[in-house]
Amino acid sequence: MYTKIYKVRVDVELKYRGETMVDLTITTVIVFLISLIISAIIIYIVTKLLREKEGFGTALLAAFVGAIIYAVIYYFLPNYGWVASVVGGITWLIALRALYKIGWLKALVIAVIVWILAAIVGFFLPTIVGPL
């Protein structure tokens, strides 16, 4: 019995006034989804250790919202890396507060622990450019 292997390449190119804004491949989407799941697992574990009752769905939403927040802020502040990081971090704290209905201090503790664990996991897992 022979197995045929088909290679499929899906390219999506979004243009605005003739300029390419986004060039997506299926690989980019798969890497994004894997990193989103890994981030959600980290967020879920940290929030459970801090006795939050929300489930994995909330952690997945927090990871997705965080990715969107950082993407939008880095889009509008491309030349200001530290400023974009600080603004993105504060915005993500606001999102964590809203999603988990917690105070500023607990949101900050969760964010710092998630950041440290994501850095450790990112060190051991090969990743494409960017944080988990």
- Answer yes or no: is 130 within a domain: no
Mean pLDDT of 26-54: 88
Residue-wise pLDDT tens digits, 42-92: 999 999 999 888 899 999 999 999 989 888 888 888 888 888 888 988 999
Q: What is the pLDDT of residue 41?
A: 93
Q: Which residues pair with 12 in a beta bridge?
A: 24
pLDDT, residue 12, reads 53
Tokens of 111: 């964010």
- Residue 3, classified by CB atoms within 10 Å of its CB into exposed (0-12), middle (13-18) or buried (19+), is exposed
**Is 42 a member of any domain?**
yes
Task: Answer whether residue 2 is part of any domain.
Answer: no
Residue 86 within any structural domain of the chain: yes
Place of tokens 């051991």: 124
Q: Do the domain assignments include residue 129?
A: no
Domain for residue 73, yes or no? yes
Number of domains in the chain: 1
Q: What are the distances in angstroms from CA 129 to CA 32, 77, 98?
A: 11, 18, 29
Secondary structure E strands in 1-132: 11-16, 19-25
Place of tokens 């209905």: 101
Whole-angstrom CA distances from 96 to 40, 79, 107, 128 are 13, 26, 6, 25
pTM here is 0.72
Inside any domain, residue 111: yes
The per-residue pLDDT of the chain, averaged, comes to 80
Domain that holds residue 73: 11-124
Residue 125 above 90 pLDDT?
Answer: no
Q: Is residue 3 part of a domain?
A: no
